Amino acid sequence: MESKWVKPFYKRQFEMFAELHEYSDHYLELAKEIEEQIGQPFQSVIEIGAGNGHLAKAVASFGKDVTTVELVPELVDYAKQNEPEGVTSICDSFYDVDLDESFDALLYIDGFGVDGDDEQLYLLKRINQWLKANGVGLIDIYNPTYWKKAAGQTMYIDPSKSVLREYDYEQENQRMVDTWWEEGAPHDTYTQSLACYKPNEIERLCHQAGLKIVDWFPGGAMDWDELKYNPKASLEDCLSYRIKVVKA
């Protein structure tokens, strides 16, 4: 069900950046933020689109039991090499994975919107099924207002200035487009495309899935004039925002 770009893009992204192999305090800080945003006691966690497994490792360090679902085999293999006690890594599609248990908390941090509305609605319905009766989900959503303004921006994205990216925006489908290439090889590109939702749009989609948004957490935004990233922005201006969902 996933779009064809998903596996090649995230595999190549992981290969390009050595820092994606490094566990850092950033993940512990993110895990603390997640714990605060969940705002209630929890023990069992499912993280979908779990990438290199570092966030799961950080969450597990707080004494949680974490199950991860990640599509790209290379990322799962890497996660398993560093898999601590309390983490179970599964290589599968979150559209297809068969999970018998339910969880206190669900995390989908960065990446929601890989396919169209129908697929995202199906995923939200699965999220509803995976949550316990009083469970909480945290999901990052890309903001169309920001990405419309970002269209056409090009920048280096690594310290050695060997990898570039260019943003675009598909107005018809409301999708951000992010194309990467190595300097000197402009025709060898890798592109991700993620659906963007205004707050009322994702609220409607969640409602159809039997989920209720109970809180909103805006992220940061790039100041394109100053080429400076501001870690805090308004819900209207942020790059992405995090929603906190419960069963309706």
Q: How far apart are CA 57 and CA 126, in angstroms?
A: 24
Q: pLDDT tens, position by position, for the chain (248 residues)?
A: 667 899 999 998 888 876 667 788 999 999 999 999 999 999 999 999 999 999 999 999 999 999 999 999 999 999 999 889 999 999 999 999 999 999 999 999 999 999 999 999 999 999 999 999 999 999 999 999 999 999 999 998 877 788 999 999 999 999 999 999 999 898 999 999 999 999 999 999 999 999 999 999 999 999 988 888 999 999 999 999 999 999 99
Q: Taking a C-beta distance cutoff of 8 angstroms, is the pair 153, 224 a contact?
A: yes
Structural domains in the chain plus CATH codes = 6-142+198-220+240-247 (3.40.50.150)
135 contact partners, CB below 8 Å, separation of at least 6: 42, 102, 103, 104, 105, 106, 246, 247
pLDDT of the residue at 1: 60
Q: What is the pLDDT of residue 18?
A: 67
Long-range contacts, 72-77 (Cβ 8 Å, 24+): 72/6, 72/7, 72/10, 72/11, 72/14, 74/11, 74/14, 75/10, 75/11, 75/14, 75/50, 75/51
| Residues in CB range of 178: below 8 A, 6 or more apart | 165, 166, 167, 191, 192, 193, 194
pLDDT value, residue 61: 96
